[in-house]
A and B are shown apart, each in its own frame.
Chain A
Amino acid sequence: MNPLHIFNTFSTWVVPCLILSALLYAYFRGVRVFETFVEGAKEGFGMSVRLIPFLVGMMVAIGLFRDSGALELLISVFTPVLRFTGIPVEVLPLAFMRPLSGSGALAIAAEMMNTHGADSLLGRMAATMQGSTDTTLYVLTVYFGAVGIQKPRHALAAGLLGDIAGLLAAIFICQLVFK
């Protein structure tokens, strides 16, 4: 059995199995499952709706930055710097997009895998970069927005530093492993 198959099976089974075992366990422990479900679920609506102003504000800024040409400008500023470091220039758009927009970064990563080949060094780098960091600005906006936190304090800096470390690590580890 190949590893891909195992992982696919695992990821399709894990959620249903969690729900199944949670329900069985709760039912036999005498929990009134449906009433409890509704009681917990009530909260979900308010939290999602409270998020709207935060998300609109942040996504407008990100959308503008991405599509107005500002992101390209930033990338072109960094391109000459990169030539000295041995980091392939092709990964820059993905590196800058990754903390800003999850769907945007995914599109770039998929495009890199298509153009350069999924098994090329660049394709694998793109995959590792995409998989090893998250969309920091989105996570920050969603998690803090839903509870009305306006001052994120040092969370943004810590998240972005983590992103930089993850992206650099992805590039260097791939160069070591797949070259």
Chain B
Amino acid sequence: MVNLLWAGMIVVSIIVAAVNGKMETITPLIFASAEQAVNISLGLISIMVFWLGIMKIIEKSGFIHIVIFFLKPIAHWLFPGVPRNHQAMNVMLMNMGANLLGMGNAATPFGIKAMKELDSLNNNPGEATDDMCTFLAINTASLTLIPTTIIAIRAATGAQNPADVIGTTIAATFCSASVAILSDRFFRYYHRYKKNKNKEEALNCMPKRSNPVGKK
């Protein structure tokens, strides 16, 4: 799907530009975007280095258990493939905590680190695991309690009470997070169902065995 989306966006863009006679804009656009991407990656270095350093201190001292105390109960349900005290769980919860509190620039390093830890549980390098997909779905749903940026812009554009969209934002976030998590669950079971079915066909009438959760 990502291949189709990626190629599709580029192909359609070039055709549209050709039809509109704006072909001369394409090449500069490509290099401007590429440069912007490199700048973002370079800009991430400072944030990543700092927050991963702090993260190590938080983890090593045991402070992490205080920080993620409230989130821990739901974690096991969300990520059944991750062992309870695995480092991946700790960093994922730090990421979710940082997102909830609106600490955007801390959430990204924790999220990337969490992906790295999840990857250590991955049997097929290069391919996302179920738990990676769930974690990503939660992050793309923008789980937050205080949408800080948007409150600031409302204040700047002259809103009477800039914070009065917090309620509607939380409600809408809740919808997007629920749908993301539920559809992720659906795909998870759908893939497992398809895999089991293929296996059964391959085994050809071998006695049925229930498939354990996660890959062993």
Contacts and interface: CB of A to CB of B under 8 A. Distances in A.
Given A64-B13, A64-B14, A162 B183 contact: yes
Contacts of A81: none
A88 interface: no
A40 B52 contact: yes
B112 A143 contact: yes
Interface string B140-154: 111010111111011
Contacts of B17: 68-70
Contacts of A155: 128, 132-133, 136-137, 184
A165 B175 contact: yes
B108 A142 contact: yes
Contact of B16 (A70, A114, A165): A70
Contacts of B2: 140, 151-152, 156
A147 B120 CA distance: 10
B51 to A, nearest CB: 8
Given A40-B52, A140-B140, A48 B160 contact: no
B125 to A, nearest CB: 7
B44 A11 contact: no
B53 interface: yes
Contacts of B66: 25
Interface residues of B, number: 112
Contacts of B52: 40-41, 43-44
Interface in A4-44: 4, 7, 10-11, 14-15, 18-19, 21-23, 25-26, 29, 31, 33, 36-44
Interface SS of chain A: helix, strand, loop or mixed? Answer: helix
A63 B140 contact: no
A44 B48 contact: yes
Contact of A70 (B12, B127, B135): B12
B69 interface: no
Contacts of A174: 168
Contacts of A37: 53-54, 56-57
A29 B135 CA distance: 31
A146 B37 contact: no
Contacts of A168: 175
Nearest to B34: A56
A168 B171 CA distance: 11
Given A11-B102, A15-B103, A73 B16 contact: yes
A79 interface: no
A159 B53 contact: no
Which one of B41, B53, B126 has the greatest number of beta carbons of chain A within 10 Å?
Answer: B41
Interface stretch (B25-33, B78-86, B195-203): B25-33
Nearest to A98: B142
A152 B146 CA distance: 29
B128 A149 contact: yes
A23 to B, nearest CB: 7
A118 B56 CA distance: 42
A68 B161 contact: no
A8 to B, nearest CB: 8
Given A14-B102, A64-B29, 8 more contacts: A41-B52, A42-B49, A59-B37, A64-B13, A68-B25, A153-B128, A159-B180, A177-B168
| Pairs of residues from A and B, 9 with the lowest C-beta to C-beta distance, nearest first | A40-B56, A166-B176, A162-B180, A63-B33, A131-B147, A41-B53, A44-B48, A26-B61, A132-B172
9 contacts: A18-B67, A22-B61, A56-B37, A129-B172, A131-B147, A144-B132, A152-B136, A158-B187, A164-B179
